[in-house]
């Protein structure tokens, strides 16, 4: 087989590649919350779908100190890939939240040209709770002013689009001459993804003290807000070509023998709802591969009390009556920041284990996964199996449960993503009735409130026929 591939590759002469600019429809500057822009991909080239990059300038204005998230892909609430105006994949209601969830289990995927994290140096991992004094080093500050505040000046940033049709389609090289105009439609997120601070220093009382300073990053401040604006939006992509006719002959033979060209890609649906022991959802798909879920606390905050998460040495899991937004144990980002760094995460993307005695179980058409309800530690182990990624160890497992508690249950064969095998649950023709069942005491504060965020990952197929005719089998 290898010799045959080598022989065929040697006949594909005249290979060349180049990088092209992508044209934008509509305005490319003064883009802000809920605005949309359309990018037109090359229409007569073989597109490298993994090569699309967005570049833009970003400015944040606020009454206090405001700052955008580290991964600027979270600024987009929707990323849609269109072919002749038809959406190729399902529309996720909050693309930025999906990016945040996948970061928890797969690690950060943001481009090297993205916006820096807000992090601070706390020394090597230890069991000693370090106080957050004003003098501690904050990394990732405003590069223009050198200030320790959270302001963001206008600098060019580069963003790679993940969790979309382009990031997962196989084969990754797509002949756009066989399709109608391919477009990317971006819708910007609300300003809720920004962080706001009343001051530009860490709390002097100490984040891990019994009574921390109630003034924290992202704390709601009466009369103060932050907004952002994107300008000079451009995009680039790589395309390849062959001078020989072997590639065209190969496509013609495939169309003649099978009638269409199959392109497998990942699809996502997100379900967010108030959780009270059970969250139900429905979908119909050819291959339901994985179910990912997490919990967001939406109740009232209690500042300056012991209910603020004590992340390094916490003895309590279910203490999320928190001042929204805080510095977290970032040992999961050790490969990116080095040992002993803490990373800031906004309240809107803080996934917490809601109960110290939590158990979770997924039901799919009255079948249970796992067969017995799983506690938090077992959920983490199942997540490692489902994703094939080992969750890095932290100084205290409670750190993950306080800020990064996102879990994945698998329904497909291991390695099926690489081999293009659709091995998940086939439920075409009838909708799957599924639910997330939990037990445990969620009662925190006078009026507790939790949202469950459930993401269904499934394999879809784009079928390209003659005459630029397409169909999507979900």
* pLDDT per residue as tens digits for the range 56-97: 988 887 665 677 887 889 999 999 999 998 999 888 989 999
Which residue is associated with the tokens 């800031």?
344
**Which of the four pLDDT bands, split at 50, 70 and 90, describes residue 197?**
low
pLDDT in tens, 14-31: 778 899 999 888 888 889
pLDDT in tens, 359-385: 999 998 888 999 999 998 899 889 988
Would you state the pLDDT for residue 429? 67
Return the CA Rg of the chain: 24
Q: Mean pLDDT over residues 114-129, rounded?
A: 52
Question: What distance in Å separates the CA atoms of residue 444 and residue 319, rounded to the nearest whole number?
Answer: 7
If one counts every other C-beta atom within 10 angstroms of the C-beta of residue 169, the result is 23
Q: How much of the chain, in percent, has pLDDT values that exceed 70?
A: 66
Contacts 24+ apart (CB under 8 A), 361-365: 361/436, 361/437, 361/438, 362/291, 362/409, 362/434, 362/435, 362/436, 362/437, 363/434, 363/435, 363/437, 364/288, 364/411, 364/425, 364/432, 364/433, 364/434, 365/427, 365/432, 365/433, 365/434
Pairing of strands 119-121, 138-139: antiparallel
If one counts every other C-beta atom within 10 angstroms of the C-beta of residue 122, the result is 22
Q: Which of 13-22, 97-106, 401-410, 412-421 has the lowest mean pLDDT?
A: 412-421
**Which of the four pLDDT bands, split at 50, 70 and 90, describes residue 148?**
very low
Q: Which of 2-6, 152-156, 414-418 has the lowest mean pLDDT?
A: 2-6
Domains of the chain are 12-473 (2.70.9.10)
Task: Calculate the CA 301 to chain-centre distance.
Answer: 25
Cα dihedral angle (64, 65, 66, 70), rounded to 10 degrees? -160
User: Do 162 and 58 touch, CB atoms closer than 8 A?
Assistant: no
- The pair of structure tokens assigned to 128 is 């000693």
User: Do 149 and 62 touch, CB atoms closer than 8 A?
Assistant: no
User: Do 45 and 174 touch, CB atoms closer than 8 A?
Assistant: no
Buried/exposed 320-347: b ≥16 CB within 10 Å, e otherwise: bbbbbbbbbbbbbbeeebeebbbbbbbb
How is residue 135 annotated by DSSP?
Answer: T
Pairing of strands 288-297, 46-62: unpaired
Question: Which distant-in-sequence residues (6+ apart) come within 8 Å of 178 by Cβ?
Answer: 251, 261, 464, 468
Question: What distance in Å separates the CA atoms of residue 343 and residue 119, rounded to the nearest whole number?
Answer: 4
**What 3-state class would DSSP assign to 21?**
strand
Question: What distance in Å separates the CA atoms of residue 183 and residue 74, rounded to the nearest whole number?
Answer: 20
- Partnered with residue 157 across adjacent β-strands are 56
């Amino acid at each position: 087989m290898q010799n045959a591939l080598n022989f065929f590759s040697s006949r594909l002469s005249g290979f060349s590649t180049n990088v092209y600019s992508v044209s934008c429809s509509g305005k490319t500057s003064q883009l802000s919350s809920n605005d949309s822009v359309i990018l037109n991909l090359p229409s007569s080239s073989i597109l490298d779908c993994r090569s699309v990059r967005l570049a833009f300038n970003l400015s944040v204005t606020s009454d206090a100190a405001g700052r955008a998230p580290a991964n600027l892909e979270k600024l987009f609430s929707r990323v849609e890939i269109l072919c002749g105006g038809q959406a190729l994949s399902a529309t996720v209601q909050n693309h930025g939240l999906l990016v945040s969830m996948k970061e928890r289990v797969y690690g950060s995927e943001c481009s090297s040209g993205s916006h820096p994290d807000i992090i601070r140096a706390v020394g090597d991992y230890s069991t000693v709770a370090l106080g957050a004094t004003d003098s501690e080093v904050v990394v990732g500050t405003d590069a223009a002013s050198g200030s320790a505040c959270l302001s963001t000046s206008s600098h060019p940033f580069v963003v790679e689009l993940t969790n979309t049709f382009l990031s997962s389609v196989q084969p990754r090289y797509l002949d756009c001459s066989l399709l109608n105009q391919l477009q990317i439609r971006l819708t910007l997120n609300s300003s809720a993804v920004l962080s706001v601070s009343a001051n530009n220093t860490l709390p002097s009382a100490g984040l891990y003290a019994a009574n921390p300073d109630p003034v924290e990053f992202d704390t709601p401040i009466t009369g103060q807000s932050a907004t952002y604006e994107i300008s000079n939006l451009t995009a680039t992509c790589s395309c390849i070509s062959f001078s020989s006719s072997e590639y065209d002959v190969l496509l013609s033979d495939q169309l003649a023998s099978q009638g269409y060209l199959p392109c497998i890609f990942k699809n996502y649906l997100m379900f967010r709802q108030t959780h009270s022991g059970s969250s139900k959802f429905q979908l119909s798909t050819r291959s339901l591969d994985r179910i990912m879920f997490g919990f967001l606390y939406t109740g009232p905050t209690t500042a300056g009390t012991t209910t603020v998460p004590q992340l390094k040495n916490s003895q309590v899991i279910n203490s999320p009556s928190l001042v929204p937004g805080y510095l977290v144990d970032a040992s999961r980002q050790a490969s990116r920041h080095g040992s002993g760094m803490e990373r800031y995460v906004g309240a809107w993307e803080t996934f917490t284990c809601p109960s110290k005695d939590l158990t979770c179980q997924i039901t799919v058409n009255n079948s249970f996964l796992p067969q017995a309800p799983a506690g938090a530690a077992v959920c983490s182990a199942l997540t490692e199996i489902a994703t094939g990624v080992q969750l890095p160890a932290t100084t205290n497992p409670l750190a993950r449960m306080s800020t990064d508690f996102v879990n994945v249950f698998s329904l497909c064969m291991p390695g099926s993503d690489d081999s293009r095998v659709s091995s998940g649950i086939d439920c075409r023709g009838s909708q799957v009735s599924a639910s997330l069942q939990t037990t445990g005491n969620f009662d925190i504060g006078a009026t507790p409130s939790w949202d469950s965020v459930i993401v269904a990952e499934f394999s879809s197929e784009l079928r390209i026929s003659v005459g630029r005719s397409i169909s999507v089998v979900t």
